[in-house]
Structure 1
């Protein structure tokens, strides 16, 4: 009853004031509200490891590879199925920046922090169907080699091109081809960083040059976005050492409800979602809606997630359903028997936390898959 009474007092007192004072008060309240929202959004960005939200122009379509990878490691609510499914905790996909018609590609890796450990680096190229069939019957396989373009005058350069990967490939095949270039990219990031330039060389088994119409790879200039050359990096930024204790579960989603997102009327920060009217310590719904925050233009998936929160009383005696620690049990006994003044009852707090996976565009419009620890309450307990 305190809130309605306070509201009536506030309205009555406001009505008794001169009109210009009311306008000034409303203006001040609005300014303070805007400042609070700005500070809250800034703090939330820090939780997601960003200083400012990425500025994305126009509608962008993420690579199918990244969408498939996200669906493998996260459920429909964004909850990470198993932290060990992913190599590292950040996956980035970079599109070719050269956008030429030839076989030279350039990838800007400046968004990767020097402190991150490169675990896996892959070059993804889409092999097109042959345009020429005149020499197709004479060539069944070709040698495809990936070279790194080393600028003249580079402190470690002894040659202009450095061989990174090479393998035989059927001439008539079509589809995605993946080349592993982890060692080269890791070395490049330690020494230089920034743009890395690669060249694809296709030769016959005899070492001669192949007809360019016979063996072709999609370029970023003349082909659909779904076939663009792409580099994929799996990195670890050092946060994996704090993975929560549910890491050994095969599927964390088995213990999380899969209900649809609650309506907007129940998504407010103060919603308790009265579950059967119970007042004992338990988990309550708390939906974080990225669209309401204004982040829907750069976050691909999920559109929001249920973070949950803990609320309720840890009253004596503490039953098994309250997941109480031994210390909490002793504290509740001390409180119940009034053995020591000022000792409160244990608090209802998260007992187990799960991570979520976020798929989004960064400031360079690269697509990033990143895991964030301790984002979803799994269970609540008295501590």
Structure 2
């Protein structure tokens, strides 16, 4: 509960720096003051869900011991560090990646995916069909064909479209006959049409031919199906989308070669962190502040968000929690460059020190660099989703 309270407090501080959600602050504050602990917790969880773009948390799936696709785990580890913090905001295409398993659970040649969880407002960037090619049966391994042509077609409703064709070619390429492993085909065109009109989603058809154009024996070229093979090899649709949330301005302007930017990256994202002040110096500053009655200078402090404590561990795969950090401390006159003041904060500090206007306070200690985190989780349909959320980690603090 303490972690959650701190999270809400930190979120209020961050709103000063850059409003991102249009919530009326005063009515919420009055409601909290008049409510009991359970009501406050419920309201806080609801607000936190809104930050993650959800109305309600997805249903927990831990009791079913369902494993996320290895592809999604690998993708998460590529774009995020151990705490979920984004390594590079441009590694991921868009800000959302979803994986869908074949709902038809057909044998080999036809596949269908339920895309009802994709909002129509989302921009479809890339859609990939992942098929696992099985090894050829031993009795048929000797064959004069070394390559085959694999073509992916979108099935069409010829009666509805007033067209004679019953399928549209989406992707086609040569693959080795005797290979095994994942094969990926781009089918973006079909998925865009399906999300625009759900009724047009009649599925996909896979056709395997020899280089000469004749149909090949399906016993020689086999793909894993949703009916007869382990989940780790089942046909999968991977969808890259953008839900319209803008990238963080602090991330967009960040140049990885800029030493000033590197110096304020979260420590978990740095190969060899070199914090500007060690723990002893921070303790000394705090002790001095307590003795003199002054506040410690503006600095970044830990704020760990534990998803298990909040009750979300049943549907979140990774991370189990993350360090959001928060900013705390005073911004006394004169403001040194180590406090990363803006010009406005410097002027405000001077006006306050000279007591030119009595109502002017000292500048506030707030985050001046914010970084995104990545969440890997199960949605209500048990699809695995990788989503990137902006402005979730205070990278550094300054006087503003």
TM-score (norm 2): 0.80
1:103 and 2:109 matched? yes
Aligned residues: 341
Distance in 1, matches of 2:54 and 2:95, equals: 16
Task: Report the CA distance between 1:192 and its aligned residue.
Answer: 3.5
Distance in 1, matches of 2:73 and 2:222, equals: 26
Which consecutive unaligned segments of at least 5 residues does structure 2 have?
1-32, 270-280, 287-295
Distance in 1, matches of 2:262 and 2:66, equals: 29
Secondary structure of the 2:159 match is coil
Give the 3 Å change call, closer, same or farther, for CA 250–222 of structure 1 in structure 2.
Answer: farther
Q: Would you say the 8 A contact 1:83–1:247 is kept in 2?
A: no
Q: Would you say the 8 A contact 1:324–1:381 is kept in 2?
A: yes
* Equivalent in the alignment of 1:325: 342
Give the 3 Å change call, closer, same or farther, for CA 187–72 of structure 1 in structure 2.
Answer: same
Q: Write the deviation string for residues 309-362 of structure 1: whole angstroms up to 9, x where unpaired.
A: 111001111111111111111111111111111111111111110011111111
Task: Report the CA distance between 1:190 and its aligned residue.
Answer: 2.5
Distance in 2, matches of 1:311 and 1:246, equals: 26
Distance in 1, matches of 2:183 and 2:253, equals: 32
Secondary structure of the 1:38 match is helix
Distance in 2, matches of 1:376 and 1:293, equals: 18
1:136 and 2:146 matched? no
* Equivalent in the alignment of 1:295: 312
Distance in 2, matches of 1:354 and 1:135, equals: 52
Task: Report the CA distance between 1:194 and its aligned residue.
Answer: 8.0
Task: Report the CA distance between 1:195 and its aligned residue.
Answer: 4.3
Task: Report the CA distance between 1:258 and its aligned residue.
Answer: 3.1
Q: Write the deviation string for residues 83-126 of structure 1: whole angstroms up to 9, x where unpaired.
A: 11111111111111111223211101111111111111110000
Q: Would you say the 8 A contact 2:108–2:223 is kept in 1?
A: no
- State which of 301, 304, 311 in structure 2 corresponds to 1:284: 301
Task: Report the CA distance between 1:239 and its aligned residue.
Answer: 1.6
**In the TM superposition, what are the counterparts of 1:339-358 in structure 2 within 5 Å?**
339-358=356-375
Distance in 2, matches of 1:295 and 1:366, equals: 16
**In the TM superposition, what are the counterparts of 1:186-335 in structure 2 within 5 Å?**
186-192=192-198, 195-245=201-251, 248-250=254-256, 255-258=265-268, 275-276=282-283, 277-278=285-286, 279-335=296-352
- Say which one has the larger Rg: 1
* Equivalent in the alignment of 2:189: 183
Secondary structure of the 2:308 match is helix
* Equivalent in the alignment of 1:173: 179
Give the 3 Å change call, closer, same or farther, for CA 242–248 of structure 1 in structure 2.
Answer: closer
Distance in 2, matches of 1:156 and 1:234, equals: 31
Secondary structure of the 2:267 match is coil
Distance in 2, matches of 1:158 and 1:71, equals: 46
Moved more, 152-161 or 62-71: 152-161
Distance in 2, matches of 1:314 and 1:246, equals: 28
Which consecutive unaligned segments of at least 5 residues does structure 1 have?
1-28, 260-273
* Equivalent in the alignment of 2:384: 367
Q: Would you say the 8 A contact 1:244–1:373 is kept in 2?
A: no
- State which of 348, 366, 376 in structure 1 corresponds to 2:393: 376
Task: Report the CA distance between 1:247 and its aligned residue.
Answer: 5.0
Secondary structure of the 1:83 match is coil
Task: Report the CA distance between 1:157 and its aligned residue.
Answer: 4.6
Task: Report the CA distance between 1:243 and its aligned residue.
Answer: 4.2
Q: Would you say the 8 A contact 1:147–1:162 is kept in 2?
A: yes
Moved more, 326-335 or 288-297: 326-335
Secondary structure of the 2:36 match is helix
* Equivalent in the alignment of 1:38: 42
* Equivalent in the alignment of 1:155: 161
